[in-house]
Structure 1
Amino acid sequence: MADRPRRPRNANAATPLTTRRIIRTNTRIITVSRGQPRRARNAGLRRTEQQEPAERARQASARRLGRRLGIILERTQDQYQPEQRPQDPQPLLGSFVDHESEWEDVNPIADHARHFRLQRYAAKREETARQWAALDKEVVSAYLLYQDISENWSSFEPTFSDHPSGCTCAPADISQRNVDLVDLFERLGGVLIKFCKCTPDVVRLIQQGFFACSADKPRTAFSIRLVQYHHHLWQVSAVTTSAFIKSVSAYLDSHTRKPLLNRGSKHKRRELRVPFSHCIDLYLRILTNSKKIYEDGLRLSPTEKWANKCPRCFGPIQNEVKQNPAEPDINLNMDGNYQQRHYHHASKDCPREDQYPSLFLPPSKIASDIERISATENAATGINPPCSETHKAADDTRNGTTWDRCDDNGLFASTCRHDVPLAIINVYKTGEKLYYPVSILRNFLADFPNHKVGVLYDIGCHLEAHVVKRNLLSDRVADLRFGTSVFHAYVHEWSCQVKYNPRLNDWWGLTDGEGLERFWSFMSPLVSTLRVSTRLHRLVSIQARAEYYSDQLTLSTGEWFAKKFLDCTKANQAASLVLHQLYELANPATPGSNYTNQFFEGQWLLEQNYHLHLNQNREKQRQELGKLLCLQEELDAAWQAESTTAEQGIARAAACRDIDARLRRQRTTIGPHALIDNLNRNQSELLWKAWYSKIDVRQQYLALAKEKQPLLQACCPGEQTTLGTNSNESLMRSLRKRGDLLRNSINVYNRRALDFAAACPTRHAPPTITYDELLHLQPDDAFWNDGLFTNGNEPWAIDANTQCGIRSLASFKRSQEEHRRIGWEVRRAMCWAAAQQDRLMDTLRQLCSMQVPAEGETYIPPNVEALLLHDYLSPLKTVEEKMKSAKVVIHAKLIEIWKLQIQWDEKIIDVFEQTPHQTGDDLVLQAWQQQIAAIFRAMQNGHSSGIPGDLNYSVIYPGQDQPTGDDIVPNEEDGNDNGEDEDQSNEGINIDESDSDSDEGEEEYIEAVEHVMHQTIQRIILLNLAEPTPPPDDPILT
């Protein structure tokens, strides 16, 4: 042990510069307290004395080179010398322990190496992305073609040993490679597959039903049906990739004789998470590009693309009658979420502009708004945003230092009133900035130049003030109507609610503006995984999850309409009942008459006018006076209740003197406004104290509501909270403290309100309230109205019946607006679905009617030219292959439309018939019923296959007998459908071909044919279907 070479103690020589391990990996090895590895120790023991001088010489040479290049700083005179350090004791047994390396040193060499290592990693990542992008067209076209050939890989057997399909390479250009294949039901290790030079390896594996894990010479592949199954499972449950691949591996281990081992290893099992994630990304790219083929091939306009997102909002608008031209056509909700963050240490990739998913606004579409808002900072001077300061989510005091571990700090999004996400912005190193909602509005309004748009935002009051004063959307401000979300209205001042609460103002219906809260709840399972993923993967995953969320909302349209119509009816009935009760009461403000709707409307206009022209400075001065009076009262009470020492007495006397001075100054500042409504000074000050006490009640209530937010967040089914045990207990303790503070504030307020009532019995006193009553108050309850403190003679401020009538009349109007809007949206959705089916059916008919001559060019109809000549289908060699691929895309969309219509039909017709009639309703209902009848008939006959591309002839040509011949081949499972569909009256017809030349035989033949034709035509008429033109031969059904 005495002769064992010792580790160099110089900090710069602590890790040899020329060791083989460092040169290979170019990483810095930091030894922690776990001790020196056995391999390193054994290597040191084997090092001979002859190697030590050469090693020291190489180290010295490297240090001189580093100093000459400026990588290593020159040693200073006061630097600690290694020979002066006391000798660390060596352990008698085990490894050498280096106590000084338990923390990370600043090593310029290691930093230099790390820089170039990250550079190489970024270059490798970019090269991998480039390789996959170069294969996009071939991959998408091959996937669609073989999806049709294999019936979505439901009836397909791979042939790995066969010659590659369509290969023209010489035998010398065909190679073989072992590939590990993983399927949903089996796993094969080291399967020998033939590859050629004319077909990319990724495409070759798709032909065999597998997705490659690498763009260049893949060694692992997962079956397409396994990736498809994972995609559907992930959409429903957001299962992590690690959990899914572990479960699949464990299942296959129990059904496979040989384990799947690492290449070159005899015992270590393969880790498949990373390869499988590449297949997931590949499949998402295929789905995205297939959607692009559909949109570009059918030449969808921007409005039609919006309608595909939410047909209830953006479907065809026909014969809709508004009560006021200012009524919004579409309502938008906006909000931010700062749980969907991304840690900057997880990845250093920076998505390009063209890599942003379609749902996201790329940075280029936000840049102009950032510049515009920066240039108008001076114009924003004087905007007083008390509500935005109260609202935590809109507090822009958060900046990049608050999120120092993150690069992407969250998301800002917009949904329609049906909760469908419409646009998302990735928040990069900022908080909830003004330019995010402005960018969404500007880009949205560009596609709808003639629409009126309602905007519900948690701080809609703040947003409108900036938009108007900064002149941000000057050309469309008149088309916008701002409001606040319903469940966040309680954080706004009453003067703000009077103008922006959607329950109190016209044209909002029963929209609550909380669609983003439900969307963020649905997206919450992705929070933990996406924080440590790559930035691009995070955006793509959010896009895929949001699209599934939108599809599910669209699928449940019928249930949504039925529920909303029921809620609307209940609200209408409840409001009508209250109003009829008030109509029977005498109105003290107008002696000799009862309450009427005209009176309630007039009082509401007076209340709005007062709050819109409120002198906020005077109100704040009165509230400050009430605060000082309350402080003086508390000091006086404390002075009398407790015995004090001399020091305490002096301090309290000084505090009282200070309060008296502030009170005198405050009274001087307010002047004559310190008195109100012919009240004397004592009565007025009692009123101001009650007012301030009520403000304190509201602040304590908001604090309690804010503390309860984690308990109110939506949870997964079966869960009551997203908090753990410790967090839940801590939160409950905090809630008890907040509750005690709120009870004390309520008691103080009630006492002061009663004091004012006793001192001034002729004036309406502030209403008292209990703790339980306060917790059950609605945001628009009259208790929050502070008008009685300044308007003691106005019915809207002091009369409880008037206040109740105003709220009930507003609720009645909102229910009527909702009733009318539901009628609009039902017809938009039905018209959209019917038009979509007609368009898709027409496209399929044109594809099936194309003739492909043996020689010469094929004529392509103009309506399908963009579809067949799409760039992503260009790698396909023949027109027949392009037709099959296009048929898969269109048929998949037709299957979706059929699912929607069948799901909607049960309840949407009831809502359609109970909403106000519109011009053209008969045509809409007739077209809908005809399509539903055709769908039901196809389902009953077994012709409605759910496999994309598995298109039955009778689907696109209903009512026609299926032709025979070599050009059209019926589906195997539908072999007997032809006999079931045809009329059985021709079973007794017997045509003797030997006697066909006789007159009697000709007459029987003609009668039989006429009878069959008559029955066929009669069946078509009874089904109310138009007789289509007999189709020509169809080459793509062969």
Structure 2
Amino acid sequence: MVYSKQVTFCASNPPCVAEAVRLAQLGFIASTAVNPGSAFSFRMIRLENSRWRNAPYALTGHAAGFEDYFGDNGWSKPEYYPGHPYVSICYRLFAMDSTRTHLLPGCGAQDKELRKQWQRAIDEFRAIEASERDVGDFLLGTADALANKCPACFGPKRLNRPHHTLQLDYMIALDGNFQQTRENNATYDVQGIVPSLFLSDKAVPDMKALVENTARPTKKACTESWKAADGGAGRVSSRKIDTGLVAGVCRHDIALKMVNLEKTGEKLYFALAIVKHISDHLPPDARIGVLYDIACNFKHHIEKRHLLPELFERLEFATSVFHAYAHTWGCQVDYNPRLIPKFGFTDGEGCERLWSALRSLIPINRPSNKSHRLVNLAVRTQAVNDANVSRLGSWFTRRLRSAKARSTAARKELEAVIAHDATWSEEVLRVAWQDQRRAQAWKTAAQEAEEDRLRESELYKLAEELYRIDCIIDESEPEALVGLNSKYDRLAREIDQAAIVQLQRSGTGISSTEVIAYKTSREILLSTRRGRGGSTLGQREANKARKTEVKTHSGAEKVRNAYNKAVNAFRTAGGSSPSHVLNNLPSVGSLASILDLEDTDLFWQDGFFPHVDAAWATDPWVKRGIVAVRDLDRAAEEFARIGAEVRQTLAWLEDEHDLISSRQALWLSATDSAPTIYDHDRVERAFGSTVYATIRDRALVILDARMRSLQKRERDWFRDSTFLLLWYTTRGPADTHEPVPRALKRLTPQLLLNPGNVSKTTTATGAGARSVAPREDASGAYAAPSESFRTTDDDRLLARRITEQLDTDMNVEGAKSLHDLTVQMLELQEGMLYDSDSSDNLVPDEERSLSDSDSEE
């Protein structure tokens, strides 16, 4: 792979062509822009950069491997070495007099370490890519456009129908990460690069100043336990100069913006700065859902400090689903996205999945300088974003199937509840759920303290009255005690019940927390293996986990005994209560039964004792019905959102294709000067030239690359019938007309007539399969059907439905040809029957029966 190459450089001063440019003309990228010591093949750098984007690795070991390889092929010899006649990937530049006309094999004229030369070349290549991307955004006028990052969330809404109306226009998930750090000694940084993924240096300080100039709010009960509450976590390691990241992602796990944390912990103004930046790029009336693991505190923080009042009115807050279970139940009924409207089945854990995708950068970035760390994060994040956008079709399909399954299960559960007691209709159960939310709503610490004070005062008055009656009984004659005895018994029962309520309020809260801690420690221990093939926990951490387990087990056992005593006392004191209330009183048979309960079990909801007269607290059928109607509501929201996102994706695809095509035509028609829609000075600065012919050629090359990138995305989305099925399945009622989107019209004929592009299927065998008659090809000869022809019943049905749809939409351009092609496809597939393993859940039962009848004809 090593060979020599004769190259002539310009010897004039200044040179007519810079050395780095001359090398680029030959297909090599110099390691430095001035006086380069080494050059690498563009193809090699592109290959390695693509590999790194998808599976990051440290360059040290990679460069060492190159050194070993080239060393075996004469790499270190200073004299000329003819080597092997293969394509070279690395050159060392030697000066032969003042013209530097000879390149010889090897690397590192300026640096002895190949790693540094390799890193510099990759840095140059990434800078070229970033510059090309920025110029492309300038040409299209889409700089920092959110729709280019996630078409599903931020695409045009013009194709949405009335039944796709959403209560929240956009959703953002926020979270911090403190594993992505940089060591103190990695301070040398001459590049000073801050990729566009990160907020500007001005945005965060401005938000910090705005927050710090406001008064601190009063605390709420749930917020007091969070490190990032109010002012945020302030403790950081003195050995780290960059201490972490805060990111904002959309519903589809696509990173929108990040903030780099420097010598600080997780402050709420970082998240607020991200929300503010994203909202500035959205319509002024857009309603935004914000999911954050401490959303309860985040909202309280903004509200009490009166921050950004115009924006705050348009925000809805929810905790991410996994983190929600660490909050109190009173907080969950207000912020758990599974329990509140508008969020559908969005889980808000997109940042966690992003951190997982970036985890391989942790050891690489710690010794890196600031610019390398930020660029590494930006490059890898862009690769993750591209992959997520390419998989939008499968993402929609998976979420749609999940929502449909949950909706079906919830409907069956609701029918069972109504069959048991017809008075609990769907609407009545919704009213009961709202009553439960109001009764168990989140309160400030001061409000809870005041309620406890009033409850204790009431209990004290009852005890005082009881003591007075007790004294009267001791001093009175027996015949005068008839009325006082009954009053005495009633007061005693009231005191017992009030005291038991207090016990239960503290008892179950402790046990829930203890059980969560116990499960966490057990999970850590059980996931750790000794020896090969398993992760290592370390002796110190293992001992901590064991101590936590023993302590939690002991504490939970004590609380269980106290709780069971309270239950027995309550049953004794509540002798006049209805039998079903006492029978449904939850009790604990063993500690193991507590440990088996899920964190969301009704047992932890603290509802029975304080609300003994409420059906939602005591009747298990009502509890089941409330869960069912909640799932139905979330499923309906999810259906509407998926339908809207599919159409927004298709609308973006159409508009982006039209935009690139129009700009290409504009530059082709402008033969003498840049199109008038551009500022002349900005055009020259963007392209680094004043010669219009050069500018025009470069602009057309960049626009052509954008079009090819868009076409690749089209192929990713339309490689099978996924988007077609999604569009069809999320249409409105049968009596409403929805024209076929132009993007689908352009690609559907190719999809339907190219058998390799239909959904994944398997050939049916047995009595149901029939032979296919040969068909006549264009030359008149008969050809056997292709073995790869795998059209499903659902595909045939879909094509038939699209044909019927087009019958009522023939005035749309292209509809006639698509209609004819679809009819031809149906005729061609007559007599073919295949089973599908990919789209059964997407076709309604009544339509699947139609498909079955068609196949039997």
Same fold by TM-score greater than 0.5:
yes
Identical positions, percent = 25
Matched, 1:534 2:369: yes
Tell me the residue number matched to 1:565.
Answer: 400
CA contact (8 A) 1:369 1:438 kept: yes
Of 712, 723, 731, which residue of structure 2 is paired with 1:916?
731
**AA matched with 2:712:** K
Residues 1:368 and 2:206 aligned together:
yes
The answer for the alignment partner of 1:555 in structure 2 is 390
Q: CA deviation at 1:694?
A: 0.9
Structure 2: which amino acid aligns with 1:331? M
- SS of the equivalent of 2:317 reads strand
1:585 & 1:202 partners in 2: Cα distance? Answer: 81
Tell me how far 1:896 sits from its aligned partner. 2.2
Q: 1:838: Cα distance to partner? A: 2.9
* AA in 2 matched with 1:927: A
| Structure 1 counterpart of 2:156, one-letter code | P
Distance of 2:450 and 2:315 partners within structure 1: 34
Aligned CA distance change for structure 1 residues 324 and 912 (closer, same or farther; 3 Å): closer
CA distance 1:351–1:252, shift in 2 (3 Å) = closer
Query: How many residue pairs get matched?
Result: 708
SS at match of 1:414: strand
- Residue 468 of structure 1 aligns with which residue? 303
Q: 1:536 to 1:936 in 2, by over 3 A?
A: farther
Give the superposition deviation at 1:1020.
13
Q: Does structure 1 residue 219 correspond to structure 2 residue 50?
A: no
Q: 1:711 to 1:451 in 2, by over 3 A?
A: farther
Question: In structure 2, do the counterparts of structure 1 residues 868 and 447 end up closer, same or farther at CA, with 3 Å as the change threshold?
Answer: closer
User: Displacement, 1:613?
Assistant: 7.9
Deviations 1:772-803 (A, max 9, x none): 55556555432221122322111122222222
Alignment check: 8 A CA contact 1:388 1:462 kept: yes
SS at match of 1:386: coil
Q: Secondary structure at the match of 1:418?
A: coil
Cα root mean square deviation, aligned: 4.4
- Summarize the alignment of residues 831-842 of structure 1 with structure 2, pairs less than 5 Å apart: 831-842=651-662
Residue deviations 1:492-538 (CA, integer Å, cap 9, x gap): 11111111111111110100011111111111111122111111211
Q: CA deviation at 1:746?
A: 5.9
Residues 602-751 of structure 1: matches in 2 within 5 Å?
A: 602-612=431-441, 619-620=448-449, 679-704=493-518, 707=521, 723-724=536-537, 726=539, 729-730=542-543, 733-734=546-547, 736-737=549-550, 740-741=553-554, 743-745=556-558, 747-748=560-561, 750-751=563-564
1:271-290 equivalence runs, <5 A? 271-290=113-132
Code of the residue aligned with 2:6 in structure 1: it is S
Name the structure 1 match of 2:614.
Answer: 794
Given the two structures, how large is their TM-score scaled by the length of structure 1?
0.61
2:180 aligned with 1:335: no
- Secondary structure in structure 2 of the residue aligned to 1:408: strand
Q: Identify the match of residue 601 of structure 1 among 430, 434, 440.
A: 430
8 Å Cα contact 1:530/1:538 also seen in 2: yes
Letter in 1 for 2:114: L
Q: Distance in 2 between matches of 1:442 and 1:286?
A: 30
Report the residue type matching 1:161 in the other structure: Q
SS state at 1:403 partner = coil
Amino acid in the other structure paired with 1:789: F
Q: Compute the displacement of 1:315 (Å).
A: 0.5
The CA distance in 1 between the partners of 2:743 and 2:594, in whole Å, is: 53
Give me the whole-angstrom Cα distance separating, in 2, the residues matched to 1:215 and 1:728.
50
What does residue range 383-398 of structure 1 map to in structure 2 within 5 Å? 383-392=218-227, 394=229, 398=233
Partner of 1:522: 357
Q: CA deviation at 1:288?
A: 0.9
3-state SS, counterpart of residue 813 of structure 1: helix
Q: Is contact 2:230-2:298 (8 Å) kept?
A: no
| Residue 52 (structure 2) pairs with residue 234 (structure 1) | yes
Q: Which residue of 1 aligns with 2:643?
A: 823
Partner of 2:342: 507
Structure 1: distance between partners of 2:570 and 2:47 = 70
Task: Return the match for 2:573 from 741, 760, 763.
Answer: 760
**Are the aligned partners of 1:453 and 1:479 in contact in 2 as well (CA < 8 Å)?**
yes
What letter is aligned with 2:364? T
Seen in structure 2, the aligned counterparts of structure 1 residues 277 and 738 have a Cα distance that, compared at 3 Å, is farther
Shift of 1:397: 6.6
Q: Equivalents in 1 of 2:519, 2:321: separation in Å?
A: 15
Larger gyration radius, structure 1 or structure 2: 1
User: 1:671: how far off?
Assistant: 9.1
Gaps of 5+ in 2: 80-91, 95-105, 468-488, 757-777, 781-813, 821-857
Cα 1:682–1:935, aligned 2, differ >3 Å: closer, same or farther? closer
Instruction: State the one-letter code of the partner of 1:244.
Output: H
Q: Which residue of 1 aligns with 2:151?
A: 311
Residues 1:439 and 2:273 are matched in the alignment: yes
What does 1:79-228 correspond to in 2, within 5 Å? Answer: 160-164=5-9, 197-228=15-46
Q: Identify if the C-alpha distance between structure 1 residues 440 and 668 changes in structure 2 by more than 3 Å, giving closer, same or farther.
A: farther
* Distance in 2, Cα, partners of 1:462 & 1:790: 26
Matched residue, 2:184: 344
Contact 1:414/1:423 (8 A) holds in 2: yes
Aligned twin of 1:110 = none
Aligned to 1:946: none
Alignment of structure 1 residues 850-869 onto 2, 5 Å: 850=669, 858=672, 860-862=674-676, 869=683
- Which residue among 634, 638, 645 is the counterpart of 1:814? 634
- Equivalent-residue separation in structure 1 for 2:419 and 2:114 (angstroms): 76
Partner of 2:685: 871
Residue 243 of structure 2 corresponds to: 409
Query: 2:59, 2:119 within 8 Å by CA — same for their partners in 1?
Result: yes
Equivalent-residue separation in structure 1 for 2:440 and 2:678 (angstroms): 60
Cα distance, 1:862–1:738 mapped onto 2, change above 3 Å: farther
Q: Distance between the aligned counterparts of 1:612 and 1:549, measured in 2?
A: 39
Please tell me whether residue 885 in structure 1 is matched to residue 695 in structure 2: no
2:195 corresponds in structure 1 to 357
Secondary structure of the 1:251 match is helix
The answer to whether the 8 Å contact 1:297/1:866 transfers is no
User: Which secondary structure does the structure 1 equivalent of 2:358 belong to?
Assistant: helix
Aligned residue runs from structure 1 range 25-64, under 5 A: none
CA distance in 1, matches of 2:300, 2:260: 24
Change (3 A) 1:336 1:613: closer
Secondary structure in 1 matching 2:172: strand
Q: Deviation at 1:161?
A: 3.0
Amino acid at match of 2:258: I
Looking at structure 2, the residues matched to 465 and 550 of structure 1 have their Cα atoms a distance apart, in angstroms, of 32
The alpha-carbon distance between structure 1 residues 615 and 904, as it changes in their structure 2 partners (threshold 3 A), is closer
Give distance in 2, aligned partners of 1:939 and 1:873.
44
Whole-Å Cα distance in 2 between the matches of residues 754 and 1020 of structure 1?
71
Rate the CA distance shift 1:798–1:984 in 2: closer, same or farther, 3 A: closer
Q: What is the Cα deviation at residue 320 of structure 1?
A: 3.5
Correspondent of 2:708 among 867, 889, 895: 895
Cα drift, residue 759 of structure 1:
2.5
Distance in 1, Cα, partners of 2:225 & 2:116: 45
Change (3 A) 1:888 1:746: farther
Instruction: Give the distance between the partners of 1:388 and 1:850, measured in 2 at CA.
Output: 62
Q: Could you tell me how far apart the structure 1 residues matched to 2:512 and 2:292 are?
A: 22
Shift of 1:911: 1.2
